[in-house]
Structure 1
Amino acid sequence: MSDTADSCSKTDVFDLAWVNRQAALGEPWFFAQQPSPLGSPYPIVFNDDVAALLDIDGDAARASGYAQVLSGNQVPPGAAPVSHRYGGHQFGVWAGQLGDGRAITLGDIRNSRGERYEIQLKGAGKTPFSRFADGRAVLRSAVREYLASEALAALNIPTTRALAIVGSDDPVYRETVETAAVMTRVAPSLVRFGSFELLFEGRRFDDLAPLADHVIEGHFPQLADIDDERDRHKAWIERVIELTAELIADWQAVGFCHGVLNTDNMSVLGLTLDYGPYGFMDSFDPGWICNHTDQAGRYAYDQQPHVGLWNLGRFVQSVLPLLSGVPDDAVAMGQQLLTRYRQHYDRAYMARMRAKLGLLDERDADRALIESLLRTMARDGADFTRTFRALGHVSAAPQAVDAPFVDEFADRAAASAWLADWRARLGQTDADDAPRAERMALTNPKFILRNYLAQNAIDRAAEGDTAEIERLHAVLRHPFDEQPEYEAYARLPPDWARGLVLSCSS
């Protein structure tokens, strides 16, 4: 790659170390698929953080006009585009074959540090799995995924990443006529639970092991050296269970609701995958539903841990042939593996919640203390993020001023009563305010991607002003910092935005 942006062509910038493991594995898992041309694409936003992961020079990419490549109009030399075949259970019902209906993976690369990444264009046109859809994405959904994936990454939550958004004036028909956009998604792997489910449901049992080993060799090197195939696959399945439990504990600890936890939206690497009607909670409501399509509340905030286990049940069922050639033995082994999920989840969740309260050690009464706070917050509808952030500013001294924590509650007496219990717990082990406040500031964010903030950025972008996307992303890159110049982004949502929910087309 040239050292100067001016001498770089579009394809020079994306002259990466393409490995194309998906294309090499081929059918029935991955199908060769070229992107469809997009009319007059133009750049909207580019992410230097993700570019650095891929060994892409951000300045050179901007100077070269990256829109042609990241719209799919110009495939870089060495890339081998594919679409991914998978199925899934949607809202608890087997939906059959789904697959990448609007996403085309340019290929996968290995960066200079030996890390593997897939580079995928969402909205790049029809694939064999588009069914009756147009294969396009719209600006609204592209902005929401771009911001959300980067917000979670900054919160240290495993997620796919976003490299760029490219726009076009081509019309796309959804509830209304919108304009097209292509978002470049980056991840170590985009293989999902549904990738294995479709093979199992189609009785293609011999195709399970090659895909499992493809994932293990690329992303679980510590397991790849296990010589016995059954033991290797069993260890991998257990690791998928652990990663899923840890991911959902991460979500619960920041008040994040995915909205559509279908099995085709579950990553075998434990990544947050497929941002649709997601939401960060404002007022704490354990039964909060962020997706208005989910009328029964299957994917409500407090149901996410249970759905994680249900989805893992479908995944483990699909890989039973990897555990044993004797069906009854495979079922017994699978059930035994699944029993470990609750332990993994509970340990991960409690560790995160203790950290949010500034607790350094474990006590049996901690669960009751945490649940008491959450009940008090739920009664008042206290803001999830602001309440925990404010707690970090409270002193352990009994006579200390309780504001701003109690200011988040209508029932200030109840909040003060809970603080007395919290102070008593701190007095058992750690009453030193300064180091605890510093720790709590690193686990309780001040800034999250509230729905109304994302909507403001979308509305401005639709009018041709993309500066708010950049500005909001800049704030969200440092969610634990005070950033007083951006104080407005930490305020309570306006009245019009309270309870804002979205649909699966978001």
Structure 2
Amino acid sequence: MTFKTTHSYLQLPESCFQVCQPTPVADAQWIAFNQPLAASLALPETYWLTDEGLDLFSGNKLPEWAQPVSQAYAGHQFGHFVPQLGDGRALLLAEFSDEDGQRFDVQLKGSGPTPYSRGGDGRSPLGPVLREYLLSEYMARIGVPTTRALAAVATGESVQRETAEPGAILTRVASSHLRVGSFQFLLAKGDLDGLERLADYTVQRHYPQLQQIDDDGQRYLALLDAIIEKQAQLVTHWMSIGFIHGVMNTDNTSLSGETIDYGPCAFIDEYRADQVFSFIDKRGRYAYNQQPAILHWNMARLAECLLPLIDNHKETALQLATDLINAIPQRISAAWLERMGTKLGLNAVRAEDKSLIERLLQSFEQGQVDFTLGFYQLADELNKQTTPAALYAGCTDFSAWRDDWQQRLSHSGQPLSEAESTMRTCNVRRIPRNHQIQAVIEAAYTDGDLRPFNALHAALQDPFATAPEFDQFDQPPADPQRVTNTFCGT
């Protein structure tokens, strides 16, 4: 591969970005570097854990190929519309291409104030950088569409939040940083030409198969449909692994269907349908079980932006878009059913399986069963007639449910060995648990010790494996270890 960069985002209206330079830092030091990702992007090895790389990923000295800009967007934040947000602490440097020719944004996050900082310092504390590095790379490892972490560096400077915290910069890689809020920004400005250019760019960047649709309105309607499908698959994937994004604002909803912005996110320990971790989500708007409804709401906001492009007649455009929006709950339900059924080893999920899945989740909640281990250990309960494992001891109806599950599998004619194989490959043993991440952050804050970070990162590289050296990372928190609140880094 030959390393090359492009800057296609700059073809959008000038209102969509502002040129901005990173603010130099005092004493940049390496925290982590993602060598496999760097290799796939053909990043020259002159940047791999070198002084030149440290200059690049700290923003202290950018190479000629970097053309840093901060991106503009709007967004509904907890349901309240803000017509201009934008990258308040991030800079898009360039676009790289991987070995398959797919283009990716490379962005510094925490590199100093931008024209969109709204009085903020544009910096990031070390804790959120460590969290995003661990979680985004874990999600990539288990096949969840996500942004990636290319590098993390310490700045040698303090960042003031509730207290003074050490600063850091994350280099983030994404299929793009386009989001629902990108469209909302142009709609709020009344820039219909800009809306069309952004829609065409989104098609070209992420949905090139739609370019063969000659009718403009039908193409933009198909774009809405394609984004809805990507988001439905993404959010149901989150649900199937017990992940709570924590801040599903429209400015955090990507058009590529990737998980973006790992702020106050968390994985569930013991299952509770209405679980919330984000300290700022006081009313549970983005609780675990509310994520499908919020996705529905966010896609309706995207549809509003595309109405002028779908048809010149407002009533016609509204009807066409409404038909797609009204069908979202059914699409989400079907995607959720497929993913959750697979976790039970079912090779052909049926509509009536929904009751079986919901009964298990209710049993988990009643028995305070750990979501991850509860599904992981189910494979050991296949064709078992004896007392269930101790993990399920608090579930009063688990034995009856297990009988019904086994009967369902036997009636399908599916070999139990096949069901077990399916379950072993989709139910993880290990997740980045909140208390473990907190321990990593505390060690890094207390004495600059990154060994816990490196150990957890290593354990998460194979989340299905049974390995004695990783046993400590498989366990749910004891009561004194529980983390009930997570925080954003801004």
Common fold by TM > 0.5:
yes
The number of aligned residues is 489
Secondary structure of 1:422's aligned partner: helix
Query: Quick check: 1:39 aligned with 2:23?
Result: no
* Comparing 143-152 and 461-470, the one that deviates more: 461-470
Could you tell me which residue of structure 2 aligns to residue 369 of structure 1? 356
Query: Quick check: 1:84 aligned with 2:71?
Result: yes
Instruction: Give the whole-Å Cα distance in 2 for the aligned partners of 1:188 and 1:319.
Output: 21
206 and 378 in structure 1: CA distance in 2 versus 1, 3 angstrom threshold: same
Alignment match of 2:418 (pick from 435, 453, 472): 435
Could you tell me which residue of structure 1 aligns to residue 449 of structure 2? 465
Q: Is the 8 A contact 1:23 1:81 kept in 2?
A: no
Could you tell me which residue of structure 2 aligns to residue 486 of structure 1? 470
Q: For residues 98-137 of structure 1, what are the structure 2 equivalents within 5 Å?
A: 98-137=85-124
Shift of 1:88: 0.3
Shift of 1:470: 2.2
Query: Quick check: 1:351 aligned with 2:338?
Result: yes
Secondary structure of 2:87's aligned partner: coil
* Comparing 346-355 and 469-478, the one that deviates more: 469-478
Instruction: Give the whole-Å Cα distance in 2 for the aligned partners of 1:471 and 1:316.
Output: 44
Instruction: Give the whole-Å Cα distance in 1 for the aligned partners of 2:19 and 2:146.
Output: 26
* Comparing 75-84 and 184-193, the one that deviates more: 75-84
Which consecutive unaligned segments of at least 5 residues does structure 1 have? Answer: 2-14
Show CA shifts across 1:183-235 (max 9, x none): 00001111000010111122112210111111211221211232322222111
Which consecutive unaligned segments of at least 5 residues does structure 2 have? Answer: none
Secondary structure of 2:128's aligned partner: helix
Could you tell me which residue of structure 1 aligns to residue 164 of structure 2? 177
Could you tell me which residue of structure 2 aligns to residue 8 of structure 1? none
Shift of 1:121: 0.3
Shift of 1:63: 3.8
Q: Is the 8 A contact 1:48 1:58 kept in 2?
A: no
499 and 43 in structure 1: CA distance in 2 versus 1, 3 angstrom threshold: closer
Instruction: Give the whole-Å Cα distance in 1 for the aligned partners of 2:418 and 2:409.
Output: 13
Show CA shifts across 1:104-131 (max 9, x none): 0111122342110000000011111001
Shift of 1:320: 1.0
Identical amino acids, percent of aligned pairs: 38
* 1:459 alignment partner AA: E
Q: For residues 182-221 of structure 1, what are the structure 2 equivalents within 5 Å?
A: 182-221=169-208
Instruction: Give the whole-Å Cα distance in 2 for the aligned partners of 1:200 and 1:402.
Output: 60
Instruction: Give the whole-Å Cα distance in 1 for the aligned partners of 2:421 and 2:308.
Output: 49
* 1:82 alignment partner AA: V
* 2:215 alignment partner AA: D
Instruction: Give the whole-Å Cα distance in 1 for the aligned partners of 2:187 and 2:256.
Output: 19
Shift of 1:267: 0.3
Instruction: Give the whole-Å Cα distance in 1 for the aligned partners of 2:33 and 2:216.
Output: 42
84 and 412 in structure 1: CA distance in 2 versus 1, 3 angstrom threshold: closer
Could you tell me which residue of structure 2 aligns to residue 70 of structure 1? 57
Could you tell me which residue of structure 1 aligns to residue 484 of structure 2? 500
Q: Is the 8 A contact 1:23 1:107 kept in 2?
A: no
Instruction: Give the whole-Å Cα distance in 2 for the aligned partners of 1:57 and 1:255.
Output: 37
Secondary structure of 2:426's aligned partner: coil
Could you tell me which residue of structure 2 aligns to residue 19 of structure 1? 6
Show CA shifts across 1:117-156 (max 9, x none): 0000000111110011011111011111111111111121
Alignment match of 2:155 (pick from 148, 165, 168): 168
* 1:265 alignment partner AA: N
Shift of 1:455: 1.1
* Comparing 477-486 and 275-284, the one that deviates more: 477-486
* 2:472 alignment partner AA: A
499 and 35 in structure 1: CA distance in 2 versus 1, 3 angstrom threshold: closer
Could you tell me which residue of structure 1 aligns to residue 401 of structure 2? 418
Instruction: Give the whole-Å Cα distance in 2 for the aligned partners of 1:385 and 1:239.
Output: 30
What is the RMSD computed on CA atoms of the aligned residues?
1.8
Alignment match of 2:369 (pick from 372, 379, 382): 382
Could you tell me which residue of structure 2 aligns to residue 325 of structure 1? 312
* Comparing 484-493 and 188-197, the one that deviates more: 484-493
Show CA shifts across 1:297-331 (max 9, x none): 11110000000000111111012111012222221
Instruction: Give the whole-Å Cα distance in 2 for the aligned partners of 1:58 and 1:470.
Output: 22
Instruction: Give the whole-Å Cα distance in 1 for the aligned partners of 2:394 and 2:451.
Output: 40
Shift of 1:402: 4.8
Secondary structure of 2:319's aligned partner: helix
* 1:504 alignment partner AA: C
* 1:205 alignment partner AA: L
Q: Is the 8 A contact 1:20 1:109 kept in 2?
A: no
* 1:427 alignment partner AA: S
Query: Quick check: 1:247 aligned with 2:219?
Result: no
Query: Quick check: 1:224 aligned with 2:240?
Result: no
TM-score, normalised to structure 2, is 0.96
Shift of 1:349: 0.5
Shift of 1:364: 3.6
* 1:101 alignment partner AA: G
Instruction: Give the whole-Å Cα distance in 2 for the aligned partners of 1:430 and 1:381.
Output: 32
Secondary structure of 2:155's aligned partner: strand
Show CA shifts across 1:395-440 (max 9, x none): 225x3x4543xx2234354221211111111111246333322210
Secondary structure of 2:49's aligned partner: helix
Show CA shifts across 1:149-168 (max 9, x none): 11111121111111111102
* Comparing 106-115 and 40-49, the one that deviates more: 106-115
Shift of 1:59: 8.5
Could you tell me which residue of structure 2 aligns to residue 6 of structure 1? none
Show CA shifts across 1:456-487 (max 9, x none): 11122222221222221222121122233211
Could you tell me which residue of structure 2 aligns to residue 276 of structure 1? 263
* 2:423 alignment partner AA: M
58 and 143 in structure 1: CA distance in 2 versus 1, 3 angstrom threshold: farther
Q: Is the 8 A contact 2:344 2:419 kept in 1?
A: no
Instruction: Give the whole-Å Cα distance in 1 for the aligned partners of 2:122 and 2:369.
Output: 41
Could you tell me which residue of structure 2 aligns to residue 5 of structure 1? none
